[in-house]
Structure 1
Amino acid sequence: MIKSINNISALKLINEVDNLLILDVRRFSEFKSGKIPNSINIPVDDLEFELDELNEFKEKPILVYCKSGIRSTVACTLLEEEGFSNLYNLRGGILDYTGNIE
């Protein structure tokens, strides 16, 4: 199930959930220019080919984000179709995120 969450909910999730995977689905050049701490980068265009890398997280919470929320919605849909069950889409993407950026 995909839950679309706002910035405040995302910050709470990041601060309170120990086994959270933070997945940035922007291009690598965007990722290098600033990211949510502890996030990993798999661009949405590569995601279907990198699913094996994420298999251990099928049941764990995953926060997915991009620049504005569009690519992360696409990524969440793909992940849900592949059996991932605990997905959070950051509505508004990193543009709306007010937490730490590294």
Structure 2
Amino acid sequence: MWIRVTVRGNSMSPTFADGQELLARRLLLRSPRRREVIVFRVPDAELPHRIKRVAAVAGDPVPAWLAPSVVATHVPPGFVAVVGDNARSQDSRQLGLVDCRDIVGTVRA
């Protein structure tokens, strides 16, 4: 199943532009992979979905740039660390690790 999402903001620039429409395929039987671009829900956020790149998956060491804000040494099962393509993006440093249950799908470029 496919869903259409619209990029809001510049967090994924230069890969995706503000206002650009993307297709995302729902994840059904597999976990996201490193470097995939995912769409996920953020509870209590003003935007219904976020679009970010997977930086680390369950079992991976927590990336050094994220280590100060995450207590664990490895990404726990059922979670991923995400990063935006823009250096000023809001990502796992601010949002924390993303629960895989909140992932809506993976973007197909």
Q: What TM-score does the superposition give when structure 2 sets the normalisation length?
A: 0.24
Structure ranking higher in helix proportion: 1
Structure ranking higher in strand proportion: 2
